[in-house]
Amino acid sequence: MKIRSGPSGIHLFDRTSGLNILIDEVIPREELWALAPRQVSIALTNACDLRCAYCFASKSPSMLELSHVRKWLVELDTNGTVGVGFGGGEPTLVRYFAELCEYATRETNLAVTFTTHGHHLDDKLLSRLRGNVHFVRVSMDGIGFTYERLRGRSFSELQTRLIALKEIVPFGINYVVNSDTVSELDAAITLASAAGASEFLLLPERPANGRDGIDGASERRLRRFVTNYFGDLRLAVSELGSEGLPTCNPFQNESGVHAYAHITANGVIKRTSYDVAGIVIGSDGVVAALHKLNHLSKATAS
């Protein structure tokens, strides 16, 4: 079990079971707080073989070096990060992806997750990932025809991949909410639950590629849906899309880069994947870059 000290208390986490225990009766002295964020996402590549209109990810042809990512993982683990999430782009397109997951699980105490569209999760890749990944997030925006129109891939094939994935590792569904998908929330959650998903992550569409993001009517509909939801499948929501929704955050004292940071496929660390400004991770490592990023964030805020 990993132990992390921070402004919200002492956090104990077991990556295999997913058990979290927060001892908030005692707040450790600031000099004992973890130097790295609780969670870090890493875009291994910007490459993706889908072209979703609402995707915010950069389309520049970039990919991180395996040796760099390995060093960063060890440093993050040593300095208190609990979990790392690989993304992109589409991380399963990266040639070293399975090798990296194995390394992260074997050489660190980090919980390893990744976000994928799911269509490359064939039996060969899943076999290599078995025991080397702790949670997978599969993007599924809408169901049936809506999904196929937005993502240009077979929905029945996605369902087949979910069945295979369930046998390997716990998974959740990432669901972009906009005017195309909000009406299918009930059906999508029912399907996700039947497929064995353990979480349904709501992602209100963010402005990108000339699109305005989720419209007001869809946002109000989403709020009503969440307020009246009493299903068994656990709902979660992105921090940037949580305004106006009933949420529970036990780490309320842990904000900014104490809580989360994102590393781009160009080796730039940012507060979130949506931020424009960031700090290039140099030879002095991730923690040094985080320190600079924290100063940059404070200067921008003032």
Q: What is the pLDDT of residue 302?
A: 54
pLDDT of amino acid 209: 76
Confirm whether 290 is domain-assigned: yes
Residue 6 belongs to a domain: no
Token pair, residue 48, equals 């993706």
User: Does residue 26 lie within any of the structural domains?
Assistant: no
The string of DSSP letters for 202-236 reads: EEEPPPBTTB--S-HHHHHHHHHHHHT---SSEEE
Instruction: Please list the pLDDT of the chain residue by residue as tens digits (302 residues).
Output: 999 999 999 999 999 999 999 999 999 999 999 999 999 999 999 999 998 888 877 767 789 999 999 999 999 999 999 999 999 999 999 999 999 999 999 999 999 999 999 999 999 999 999 999 999 999 999 999 999 999 999 999 999 999 999 999 999 999 999 999 999 999 999 999 999 999 999 999 988 778 889 999 999 999 999 999 999 999 999 877 778 888 888 898 888 888 999 999 999 999 998 888 899 999 999 999 999 998 877 666 55
Residue 21 in any domain: the answer is no
Q: Does residue 8 belong to any structural domain of this protein?
A: no
Beta-carbon contacts of residue 243 (< 8 Å; ≥ 6 apart) = none
In this prediction the pTM is 0.94
Burial of residue 223 (CB within 10 Å: 0-12, 13-18, 19+) is middle
In a domain, 25, yes or no: no
Number of compact structural domains in the chain: 1
Structure tokens at 18: 């997913």
The answer to whether residue 11 is domain-embedded is no
CA 240 centroid distance within chain: 13
Q: Please tell me the predicted confidence (pLDDT) of residue 54.
A: 86
**DSSP code of 45?**
B
Give dist(CA 167, CA 164) in Å, integer: 6
CATH number at residue 125: 3.20.20.70
How many CB atoms lie under 10 A from the CB of residue 274? 13
Write the CB contacts of 248 (distance below 8 Å, at least 6 apart in sequence).
Answer: none
**DSSP code of residue 34:** -
Question: In the structure encoding, which two tokens stand for residue 148, read together?
Answer: 């196929």
Maximal C-alpha separation, the chain: 54
- The tokens describing 297, both together, are 């964030």
C-alpha neighbours within 13 Å on the C-beta side of residue 176: 23
Enclosing domain of residue 181: 32-301
Q: Does residue 18 lie in a domain region?
A: no
**Strand, helix or coil for residue 98:** helix
**DSSP classification of residue 25:** S
